[in-house]
Amino acid sequence: MDLVNKIEHFFNIHINEYLDFHRKMVEINSFTANPEGVNKLGQYIAQEFSKLGFSAEFIQSLHVGYGKHLFLTHPATYHKNQPTIAMISHLDTVFPEDEEIKHNFLWRVDGDRIYGPGSVDIKGGTALIFMIMQAMQNLTRQQFNQINWLICLNASEEALSDDFSRFCLERMPKNTLGCLVFEGGAADKTSMQIVTSRKGRVTFHVVVEGKSAHAGNYHAKGANAIVQIAHTILEIADLTDYDEKLTFNVGKVNGGVVVNRVPHYAEAEVEMRAFSPEVFEKAVNDIMALSSKTKVHSRDGFSCKVKIIKGKQTYPWPRNQDTDYLFNIWQKAGRKLAIDVVHEARGGLSDGNMLWKHFPTLDGLGPTGENAHCSELDPATGKDQEFVLASSFIPKAMLNIIAILELIEQNEGKV
């Protein structure tokens, strides 16, 4: 029996154990702002990986109200001169416990679909890492022993925690061969999509100062902050350029006090996303330039004041040589398995945005699913909950193992 068949046979024997591991993770509420649940999940994962010889290190997030990041290493095979492979997942989800209860969003199997909070984003990815590690220990022990394994689980990825990447990089030596991110793969019956680029994101707070006045007696003396922010919002929306894959989204607007008063204040929250670093930087400059543009003023000469405050920024992860190097290895592995592996550019963020500049990074390596971040179920309106496909675990794990073995082989003797 050749190696591919051995791996598939091994997984078929153990698949129910993996799905049970996955179920127990999904059943733990690990909403980002529920640190007790996040930490409970981390302890459970550490317990399961300890069966494979991994040791756990917990590090409290630097952000108040979040849980502990988890780092797993394998001391028995560690050697300082060996290269490292980092495997990235996260502990948190976007679902508060009361939302799960409200929508009856619990572990549920419907045919090939496994529903539940975090089923694909990203507890399925964590289960896949376990599958890979167990199979390599049992079937490719020599190659397994050639690598220092580092498994990194972010406690607050969904809140764009920036301290996690720093903790990761502190633990990644210069001879790290790659950062493999196990976010869920996109659903596609004809191919496996591997993420090789992600949009960057930046937020903006738009504040307009107007001039209040009695809406009946002194309307002309007022400068309506809501009207001004409406003009500004339209100008922001016009900056969207689909050809450049650039989007601006005005996600929240607030202003005014009572209806018989010309509003003196209005504000809006905006986000911008783009793939290209050049487009990204130009777009930031373009929106910031709107601070000097006002159209609304009072009859007695007061002009509304527009202030745009730049918030948190996550830089784009563009296609690059190092990522393409890893992708080519995964594509080669796909050919061995008769799987068409294709590039995917994804609009959402992941820890890959923080790591790609430092080490070769690949993403979307988890099992296939859909409807991430959705808890609602209403067939009449087309709403469906997050799910992962049970049938995708084994093929994706096999692809990753064959690719990792190729990555190890290509780097033998280089360190």
218-277 tens-digit pLDDT: 999 999 999 999 999 999 999 999 999 999 999 999 999 999 999 999 999 999 999 999
284-298 tens-digit pLDDT: 999 999 998 999 999
- As beta bridge partners, residue 69 has 59
Least confident range from 180-194, 240-254, 311-325, 342-356: namely: 180-194
> Closest by alpha carbon to 123, among 30, 14, 194, 34?
30
350-378 tens-digit pLDDT: 999 999 999 999 999 999 999 999 999 99
pLDDT of residue 16: 97
Whether pLDDT at 188 is above 80: no
pLDDT of residue 375: 97
pLDDT of residue 413: 67
- Percent of the chain whose pLDDT exceeds 70: 99
Q: What is the mean pLDDT of residues 150-173?
A: 95
> Closest by alpha carbon to 224, among 205, 209, 235?
209
pLDDT of residue 414: 63
- Which residues make up the CATH 3.30.70.360 domain(s) of the chain? 200-314
The CATH classification number of 3-198+316-410 equals 3.40.630.10
What average pLDDT does the structure give for the chain? 96
Whether pLDDT at 335 is above 90: yes
Alpha-carbon radius of gyration of the chain:
25
Give the Cβ contact number of residue 24 at 10 Å.
16
Give the pLDDT band (50/70/90) at residue 80.
confident
Give the pLDDT band (50/70/90) at residue 415.
low
The CATH classification number of 200-314 equals 3.30.70.360
Whether pLDDT at 144 is above 70: yes
Give the pLDDT band (50/70/90) at residue 66.
very high
48-63 tens-digit pLDDT: 999 999 999 999 999 9
Give the pLDDT band (50/70/90) at residue 83.
very high
Residue 208 region, left (φ>0) first, then alpha (ψ -120 to 50), else beta?
beta
Q: pTM here?
A: 0.93
Q: What is the mean pLDDT of residues 91-103?
A: 97
HEC string of the chain? CCHHHHHHHHHHHHHHHHHHHHHHHHCCCCECCCHHHHHHHHHHHHHHHHCCCCEEEEEECCCCCCCEEEEEECHHHCCCCCCEEEEEEECCECCCHHHHHHCCCCCEEECCEEECCCCCCCHHHHHHHHHHHHHHHHHCHHHHHCCEEEEEEECCHHHCCCHHHHHHHHHCCCCEEEEEECCCECCCCCCEEEEEEECEEEEEEEEEECECEECCCCHHHCECHHHHHHHHHHHHHCCCEHHHCEEEEEEEEEECCCCCEECCEEEEEEEEEECCHHHHHHHHHHHHHHHHCCCCECCCCCECEEEEEEEEEECCECCCHHHHHHHHHHHHHHHHCCCCEEEEEECCCCCHHHHCCCCCEEECCCCEEECCCCCCCEHHHCECCCEEEHHHHHHHHHHHHHHHHHHHHHCCCCC
- As beta bridge partners, residue 270 has 204, 250
